[in-house]
Structure 1
């Protein structure tokens, strides 16, 4: 037996002798896969890269006792340029007044942020990533399906975020270089941080929100004297716009439910769930409300400029938005009064996209390993490279369509995540009675015989999709109930797809899960 084989046999938990004998006949043969896993682990350890993938983190291997880390990671992930971009959609896409936009932002953020905060409590209690813990409600095979959808969501998020950053960076360069350059710069910065794993992500996010928050205060200070308020709309058309804009906000905030616990699995199991919930909730809701409010205020002023004489400040805001979308609007607000200083702060907003994107890059590597065990053997360091290689070219293609991309993507994202989180919440509250011991996470997390079959979740998913289709209101399809919300006053309808998806799922999952337990026993 070679020295390498002895070391592998000693270090690798997958290669253990049946007895304590050291004779050659007692040594389990070492496969190429086990050798590869061993050497990869050594390489990642030498580079300081997190080697653990979707495996459960034992209680004695959780050194991160900074529960407030849940605050800073979500504060940095949400105090970003794309959040501002969501806020501008109220006035400039749905033609809502500032008052209506701000009220819609407040109530939808305050409610929807509850769900990712709830999901974040699973990390310390179970020691599992979000897509892995979903096996306890969706089943071993059902979790593969939602993990696949989450991979698509991570790519979609990265595309939308990168488009926002690329537009702003092009504006800094006075549109003298293409959006492709900005996209590549953002993608590479994200990759460098995301590939190193949990510890490095937390370190970056601990401080990333500070320069961005300062920049948004500068934006407020520069724009404040130009902000105007329009009369609030009334009637059926305004109600449908509120619901559609609310759907976008819902999709933005609820987008974290499929990966919320990925960033606290190294925190102690005895950590109070209410503290994890509280820090996460504040970290998501506060920046979302404030930054979206700022975006809505600037956008409402720009919209007012559409009817003003050319050459006035607000008319220039609207003209720049009309020509260059988000990047043009920021340029019009920041550069004329601050000159080079305005461009400096715009660069900081561009870099804020990295704080949001590394969450997607890191979590996709976890989600993709749930899809099939063979993918879990691929070193975790590979997956950030894969997702970066996917989203950069797509973001380049769609670089001039931020508003449309964000609106369409977040609305569709909200449909399936409404179904996903409803199943997870009802499983925990109804069938497990909020008892963390009922999960038996240490033994059951990777044993399909101890996990639910997943038929209950599958049945509820099908009904949830029906609800989404009936209530959605997209450019490419308007459901029968979505059309009724808008009525003749708004032929584009009002989007209630996410509400109906959640409602249909909430009603049917307890029924299907009860039948599953009765006839399947698990």
Structure 2
């Protein structure tokens, strides 16, 4: 069996023959041939079957650049964004003022990288993980893609937990969290299975009812808002840094799939316009919805009834506390909030299949759509099990996600600025995207990753580990993991990348 899996297909691909080889071998294999036939039938129904192959110029039919903003607007105008905001006062004990300032500043900074990486979709015609080969290397990108698969599953589970808790409160405890989780997962699967066009159509409109619901929540709950005093001193600094790490993890999480949603836009689209649309589309919902979450959570310090609802029902109870004054209409708004999770989750489920296909040639045999089904089957039980403690699950996941994505982004951006001279033409994607000899191996990126991990370990502040550089910050420490991970990686990668390129060029690589 091993000899079959390593036969001429892998060698042909490494020689650069690419997708034609995959098609040729699919025609010769039984079960895999049926997968190809299934793909053709789905394509006839308007379901996107294109995987990680480079999108040719004549297929770039999405000319409305504002689509690069709407997808991020909808994906973040959701109840999980609200859930991030509540962590400032609720988990880290911050005042309202410092919570709001942290939300604004960290989001404005983190989304710069998402906006930049989103420009590579039209310019290169490649999905995010495929474009990563130019900085992380042919083999290094496989590791990054694996981490991204794990992140997509984790995101989906965390998001559906929020929706499940809300539905349980709407149903007056007659339904379990699992019911809401399954409903959200099924709707997400249908859209993620259908592909790029359907994802964009859904995102174009889905944010509107959710935005209206958030505005109504603000109107009916504002009279309860209180200005929780802003603490001072080193303990406050530690809490702010830890909350900042959580916000960073949420915002920077989009970088690992930033260019998956605009590869059908023309290559001549101005990069500055692409970036600005993404930047605005991200920050409007991230900042405003998270600020609302922080304000509603801060109100629990002055209202025992709200505090009790949150203590008993977590996120769902807090949302109901803010909306209970409008009775049954409040329950209707909560259903909208529950369904808003779909707009966030389809991004993860759609990109999951693309990341899986990057893992290896044989993974490309399986259509992207099939991975959406597999991923859904994996994250549903994870969400059901983790639904008992939303805040802690969210905070732990965001921080760990933020560490590795800080490393990923640093390497990607340094490659673009230092080694590609900020010129997209220096990537030569039309000829080299699927040719291992035109990419680095990934040794430099891997070693820089190790340096970044060392920085994260020194600065992280988690229940299971507090780094030696985090301990002096605050009474219980303060998380500076993503900052140190970024710094260590930024220093290590350029010289390592230069040495790797010099070594590989002498051995026939076209770098």
2: CA distance, partners of 1:473 / 1:16: 49
Match of residue 330, structure 1, among 313, 319, 325? 319
CA drift of 1:47 comes to 2.3
Question: 1:244 — aligned with what?
Answer: 242
Question: 2:389 — aligned with what?
Answer: 401
Question: 1:437 — aligned with what?
Answer: 425
Q: Give the 3 Å change call, closer, same or farther, for CA 508–315 of structure 1 in structure 2.
A: same
Pairs aligned (count): 487
TM-score, with length taken from structure 1: 0.91
Matched, 1:508 2:505: no
Listed one character per residue, the Cα deviations across residues 357-376 of structure 1 (whole Å, up to 9, x for unaligned) are: 00000000100110111111
Match of residue 472, structure 1, among 460, 465, 469? 460
SS of 1:212's equivalent in the other structure is helix
SS of 1:256's equivalent in the other structure is helix
2: CA distance, partners of 1:162 / 1:227: 28
CA drift of 1:79 comes to 0.5
Assess if the C-alpha contact under 8 Å between 2:26 and 2:36 holds in 1.
no
Match of residue 132, structure 2, among 131, 134, 137? 134
Question: 1:45 — aligned with what?
Answer: 43
2: CA distance, partners of 1:38 / 1:471: 48
Question: 1:372 — aligned with what?
Answer: 360
Question: 1:318 — aligned with what?
Answer: 307
1: CA distance, partners of 2:135 / 2:429: 13
2: CA distance, partners of 1:275 / 1:16: 37
2: CA distance, partners of 1:273 / 1:453: 28
Matching of residues 13-92 of structure 1 within 5 Å: 13-14=20-21, 30-32=27-29, 35-36=33-34, 38-92=36-90
Indicate the structure (1 or 2) with the bigger Cα radius of gyration: 1
Question: 2:12 — aligned with what?
Answer: none
SS of 1:229's equivalent in the other structure is coil
Listed one character per residue, the Cα deviations across residues 180-230 of structure 1 (whole Å, up to 9, x for unaligned) are: 111111111111111000000000000111001000001000101111102
CA drift of 1:333 comes to 1.6
Matching of residues 74-113 of structure 1 within 5 Å: 74-113=72-111
TM-score, with length taken from structure 2: 0.93
SS of 1:153's equivalent in the other structure is helix
CA drift of 1:37 comes to 5.5
CA drift of 1:40 comes to 2.7
Q: Give the 3 Å change call, closer, same or farther, for CA 30–49 of structure 1 in structure 2.
A: closer
Question: 2:13 — aligned with what?
Answer: none
Assess if the C-alpha contact under 8 Å between 2:22 and 2:365 holds in 1.
no
Assess if the C-alpha contact under 8 Å between 1:324 and 1:400 holds in 2.
no
Match of residue 358, structure 1, among 314, 326, 346? 346
Matching of residues 82-481 of structure 1 within 5 Å: 82-302=80-300, 304-305=301-302, 314-335=303-324, 337-481=325-469
Matching of residues 480-519 of structure 1 within 5 Å: 480-486=468-474, 490-491=475-476, 493-519=477-503
Listed one character per residue, the Cα deviations across residues 100-135 of structure 1 (whole Å, up to 9, x for unaligned) are: 100000100000010111110010000000000000
CA RMSD of aligned residues (A): 1.5
Question: 2:9 — aligned with what?
Answer: none
CA drift of 1:32 comes to 2.3
Higher mean alpha-carbon deviation, 31-40 vs 441-450, is at 31-40
Q: Which runs of 5+ in 2 are unaligned?
A: 1-18, 506-510
CA drift of 1:139 comes to 0.6
Assess if the C-alpha contact under 8 Å between 2:71 and 2:204 holds in 1.
yes
CA drift of 1:315 comes to 1.0
1: CA distance, partners of 2:179 / 2:33: 40
CA drift of 1:35 comes to 3.9
SS of 2:267's equivalent in the other structure is coil
CA drift of 1:14 comes to 5.0
> Runs (4+) of structure 1 moved beyond 2 Å?
12-17, 32-38
